[in-house]
């Protein structure tokens, strides 16, 4: 089980590397789709079917938006000899951050033993215990989203509305004339 999951994440990383290094923007968008759909399968293995469904839907819309933005435009990157010093500096920078990250992950609990088991008063344990009785929803993710933490969902809707408003304002062809 864990091996399959590790293999899926490894494939995701390979697809992500292809996405980042390919010079053609359209190829890059297509392999981003591979990253998203592989991650959706990984989410299924992590016992999160709700997230997998949402991930697939969002990934499809993401691909439509990105392909609409890149089709018919100049997508091929002209090869210019990059400064070797710059790339080396970037790689060194990433490597340092990676070393710090590995240090952090050694402090993490072992994979497969969730944090909620360490604390007796963790909110997740309460949600699992009392969720059905208090909200009546058999799906705990929905219970948390729409009942226990409904304020978060309201904030999410606000952010989404603001982003949509900004998108419309940026893409609008004509500005309103000032009186």
Within residues 48-77, the interface with other proteins by CB under 8 A covers 48-51, 54-55, 58, 61-62, 65-66, 69-70, 73-75, 77
What does the alpha-carbon distance between residue 161 and residue 124 come to, in Å, rounded to a whole number? Answer: 29
Q: Which residue of 83, 84, 85, 170 would you call a contact of other proteins, by CB under 8 A? A: 170
What does the alpha-carbon distance between residue 35 and residue 84 come to, in Å, rounded to a whole number? Answer: 28
Which residues sit opposite 76 in a β-bridge? Answer: 24
**Number of chain residues interacting with other proteins (CB under 8 A):** 87
Considering the complex, state which of residue 112 and residue 177 has its C-beta at the smaller distance from other proteins. 112
Binding mask 13-32 for other proteins (x = CB under 8 A): x--xx-xx----x--xx--x
Distance in Å, CB of 121 to other proteins, minimum: 14
Considering the complex, state which of residue 74 and residue 179 has its C-beta at the smaller distance from other proteins. 74
Considering the complex, state which of residue 170 and residue 174 has its C-beta at the smaller distance from other proteins. 170
Q: What is the largest CA-CA distance in the chain?
A: 66
Query: Would you state the structure tokens that stand for residue 162, as one six-digit string?
Result: 């603001």
Considering the complex, state which of residue 128 and residue 179 has its C-beta at the smaller distance from other proteins. 128
**Secondary structure letter of residue 77 according to DSSP:** P
Q: Determine, following the binding rule CB under 8 A, whether residue 141 of this chain makes contact with other proteins.
A: yes
Closest to 42 (Cα-Cα) out of 71, 74, 3, 77: 3
Q: Determine, following the binding rule CB under 8 A, whether residue 150 of this chain makes contact with other proteins.
A: no
| Number of residues assigned to the chain | 179
Binding mask 95-134 for other proteins (x = CB under 8 A): --xx--xx--x--xx-xxxxxxx-----xxx-xxx-xxx-
Considering the complex, state which of residue 159 and residue 179 has its C-beta at the smaller distance from other proteins. 159
Query: Would you state the structure tokens that stand for residue 65, as one six-digit string?
Result: 């938006």
Query: Would you state the structure tokens that stand for residue 58, as one six-digit string?
Result: 């969002």
Cβ count within 10 A of residue 15: 20
């Amino acid at each position: 089980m864990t091996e399959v999951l590790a293999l899926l994440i490894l494939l995701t990383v390979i697809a992500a590397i292809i996405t980042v290094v390919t010079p053609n923007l359209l190829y890059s968008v297509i392999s981003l789709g591979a990253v998203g759909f592989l991650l959706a399968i990984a989410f299924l293995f992590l016992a999160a079917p709700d997230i997998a469904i949402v991930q697939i839907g969002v990934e499809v819309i993401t691909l439509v938006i990105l392909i609409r933005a890149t089709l018919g435009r100049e997508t091929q990157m002209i090869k210019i000899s990059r400064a070797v010093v710059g790339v080396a500096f970037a790689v060194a920078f990433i490597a340092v951050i990676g070393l710090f990250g590995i240090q952090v992950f050694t402090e993490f609990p072992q994979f497969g033993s969730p944090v909620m088991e360490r604390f007796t008063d963790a909110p997740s344990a309460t949600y699992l215990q009392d969720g059905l009785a208090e909200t009546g929803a058999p799906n705990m993710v929905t219970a948390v989203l729409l009942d226990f933490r409904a304020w978060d969902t309201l904030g999410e809707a606000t952010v989404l509305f603001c982003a949509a408003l900004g998108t419309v304002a940026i893409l609008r062809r004509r500005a309103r004339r000032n009186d």
